[in-house]
Structure 1
Amino acid sequence: KNILKRVLFVRRRMVTMHSSILSVFYIQFLYLDVVQSFNVLSMFSAKLNADNVMTMDEDFNKNHWTNNRRAKIAHHYLKDKKKHDVIGKNITLVLNNLLKNYQSSEPPNYRKGEPTIIKTNMLIRSMGPISEVDMDYSMDCYFRQYWRDSRLSFMGPINNLSLSIKMLEKIWRPDTYILNGKQSYVHTITVPNKLLRINQDGDILYSMRLTIKANCPMSLRNFPMDRQSCPLILGSYAYPIEKLVYHWTPGKSITFVPGMTISQFDFISSPKRNFTFKKREGEFSLLQVNFNLKRHTGYFVIQIYVPCVLIVVLSWVSFWIHREATSDRIGLGITSVLTLSTISLDSRTDLPKVRYATALDWFLLMSFFYCIATILEFAAVHYFTKTGSGEIPFLVSSDEIRVHPKPKSYLSEDDDDDDVQSRFKVDYSVCSVLEDLPGRRISNFMPEDESQSRTSTMERHTQTEHKIPIWKLVTYCLVANEKYRKKREQEVSREGYQFHINSVSRIDRVSRILFPASFGFLNLLYWITYVTYQETFVWKDPAAVSH
């Protein structure tokens, strides 16, 4: 019975590695006697005890190493936690001690009788839009201020403290504002974008992200080849120079995000200065930076200058149209003027109503002048040199007007208008019948001789136009010489019915050369003047900038 109990106990304690020994034991127990089985059992029990002792030693060593590892981790954790707790308690104690007798309404050096120096720098993230109508500009920047407040110096295990923005309400900070600002604000998404940091010496960094909209006085006389200087003026609102002095930080005080671009402008430079400005309240320390910009002209060349030039050139087509085509030439001139008017109105929509003319205005006026001069030129040609309608007259089929040329040689190119008129004699025997035969069929006017007809229809010098010097003819037209015009009418009436064939005036021939040449010269002078002119940037009075 005892042996069976031990066997069952041993069986429960067995592991896989002892399964073979247990099988031997069962065989001997069944087939051998009890004594032999007991001997086998004793041997097996001794082996099992030895194995258990070894396993217990290994488990002890393993558990001991694990416990040591856990103890070390716990020790370091408790040590770090204790350290952080100590630091946190120290920061709290430091702040409590610093703010215990702190007067936030007094500047740092107020009791010493010295001004507090505020060092400033800016990182500009973006700039624009720049409005000519409102004369202002906007920009997004990081605005940083540095100053030393010895009342906030401390000793401790850390070099600097990054504090909550709630601390700003408990310490003194400069009342910096923008003199020429229109509308500025601090970014508040997701929290107010402000930073406050204090080191052991009491040096304070106060940084914030701002969007600034400031006034930018512009001179648009050279628009769109102009350059603009947009200032930004900073200073204290209440503290005079005896209490507060502003300086730009040494080095690059104004920096830009790499790759930043400005719409319609190229950035040239950003000069800065420190200066003082006297107001009624006293003398104040100010900072100023000017953003010097140069406008892109490509848009205006494509959208305004090139169309204007093409319209002016198109109006000159009328010089190649016969002077008898009154409606065609007048229609072309009026269309050119109206098109220029539309372009002029569109170009002024984004510009303020200034009291002076811009460079673009002068170009548009020049284009207007040439289009209107084209119409006036035709008016002079029509009024002083044109005496016929240009239409070939039609007569009754059975009663045609006959032209009897004189028995002379054919017309030559050197013959003037008087010779042309004198070589043809018009038979007026039927002309009076035209008014009395309103319902009769009308046939084309033809000369008596067909060969002469071919020559006379191709002849262009058909209207009476004396070959006088062209400058004298232009002078008669400009001064509206009525005596010259009546003389022309009398000559035509004396010579009788003339050929009514389309003709070209000598004024038109001169205009074909004079108008393009003068327009090209004025364009060359225009572009040389405005492109080579470089406006000088000067520092302006803050009162003129801020008001």
Structure 2
Amino acid sequence: MDYDLDAYLQQSWYDPRLSLLRFGINETVMLSGEAITALIWKPDLYFVNAKRATVHDVTAPNELVQITPDGYVLYGVRVRLKLSCHMYFHLFPLDRQKCFVIIRPYAQRNDQTRISWARDKPVSMEFDIQMEEFDLVGFYTGQFVERRQIGTFSTLNVTFLLHRRIEFHLIQSYFTTCLAVFISWVPFYITMVLPQIRVAIGCTTLLTVLSIMSSVRTVAPRVSYVKAIDVWATLCIIFIFAELAETTLVHYMIRMKLRPRIMRRVDFGIANLLHYVRHGYPTDDFLLKLDSQSKLELHRNQKRAEAIDRASRYMFPLCFAFLNLVYWLYYTDQRYENYYISSM
């Protein structure tokens, strides 16, 4: 991932060759203009993780050099950077990210140039900056020495702490899919002699969840590993499939009253056959022809199916609530404790 940064970089160092007291000047001198600032020695700093860097030049190059009488130089330049940030999206959209700015001399080794942060407020930031997906909640600085094949280099870094805004996904992803799962439980309250309606509700909610998650994937980062939102989508789809399986089981138990060994005891007839094919259950005339043993078996199967429906009315919401609790506890804990440290 990339991000843009507009920064005013200030550097200060001591150069005895520029001591103004030797020339009888006892006041600070300010210089500007690329032709003049190019004549002054400056550290050859560069941004390690920058893909592109430019100096603002409207209406003139944004550079300034200030020289004190005792030879201290303050060099300021306004730059615009496009920086790379290695993000991890295992917790998306509940993730928090760290992005870095790494500064290092290009050719001047540690024994030639050592850089460090200013002691007093080395980095200042505009906290009212608004980003589309993240809130900038803080930053911290660090410095270290990096060993490379050509020598050791003094290195500085700034780490920005970013929290993703989850309001959009709470409404568009979590709430809508939750609502679809709730609707998929409506068939538990619909009579078992209307299997077409029960199946239609289950299939509709399944297609709804798939459509919602398809739209979420258009704004989600494309990575090869599983994200938190993928786990949530899978959970919702499993519950809807379980509802369809329950509907199939109940409908099968109702149809058991027409098992071949029962149907052979009576004259099924063309009219009863057409009624059964169309509605999924036999006519009243057919039921009257059954003997008492068959009627008792039919009644027992129907009671079992009704018991499954009644149990499902409680078991599905309880299981969904429990898995919701596990999901949110786990990913909230990961969100606040496991800050992934990006590496170059």
TM-score if structure 1 supplies the norm length? 0.54
What's the counterpart of residue 340 of structure 1?
209
CA shift in 2, pair 1:241/1:528, >3 Å: same
RMSD: 2.9
Point out where structure 2 has 5 or more consecutive residues left out of the alignment. 273-282, 289-295
What's the counterpart of residue 18 of structure 2?
152
What's the counterpart of residue 190 of structure 1?
59
* Matched residue SS, 2:185: helix
How many residue pairs get matched? Answer: 318
1:171 matched to 2:17? The reply is: no
1:268 matched to 2:142? The reply is: no
Residue identity opposite 2:60 in structure 1:
V
CA shift in 2, pair 1:428/1:353, >3 Å: closer
CA separation in 1, counterparts of 2:270 and 2:126?
92
What's the counterpart of residue 8 of structure 2?
142
TM-score if structure 2 supplies the norm length? 0.83
What's the counterpart of residue 103 of structure 1?
none
CA separation in 2, counterparts of 1:304 and 1:243?
55
What's the counterpart of residue 316 of structure 2?
515
Offset, 1:241: 0.6
Offset, 1:433: 8.4
Offset, 1:254: 0.9
What's the counterpart of residue 333 of structure 2?
532
Contact 1:270 1:290 in 2 (8 A): yes
Contact 1:264 1:296 in 2 (8 A): yes
CA separation in 2, counterparts of 1:248 and 1:539?
21
Offset, 1:428: 6.3
What's the counterpart of residue 377 of structure 1?
246
Contact 2:89 2:221 in 1 (8 A): no
* Matched residue SS, 1:521: helix
CA shift in 2, pair 1:329/1:158, >3 Å: same
Percent identity reads 32
Could you list the per-position Cα deviations for residues 350-388 of structure 1 after superposition, in whole angstroms to 9, with x for gaps in the alignment? 333323211111111101111111112112222344346
More relative contact order, 1 or 2 (CA 8 Å, 6+ apart):
2
Partner of residue 30 from structure 2, selected from 157, 162, 166: 162
Contact 2:20 2:26 in 1 (8 A): no
CA separation in 1, counterparts of 2:95 and 2:213?
19
CA shift in 2, pair 1:466/1:346, >3 Å: closer
CA separation in 1, counterparts of 2:104 and 2:204?
57
CA separation in 2, counterparts of 1:432 and 1:225?
62
CA separation in 2, counterparts of 1:312 and 1:257?
43
Contact 2:253 2:302 in 1 (8 A): no
Could you list the per-position Cα deviations for residues 20-60 of structure 1 after superposition, in whole angstroms to 9, with x for gaps in the alignment? xxxxxxxxxxxxxxxxxxxxxxxxxxxxxxxxxxxxxxxxx
* Matched residue SS, 2:13: strand
Which structure has the larger Rg over C-alpha atoms?
A: 1
Offset, 1:213: 1.7
Contact 1:219 1:228 in 2 (8 A): yes
Could you list the per-position Cα deviations for residues 401-421 of structure 1 after superposition, in whole angstroms to 9, with x for gaps in the alignment? xxxxxxxxxxxxxxxxxxxx9
Residue identity opposite 2:2 in structure 1:
D
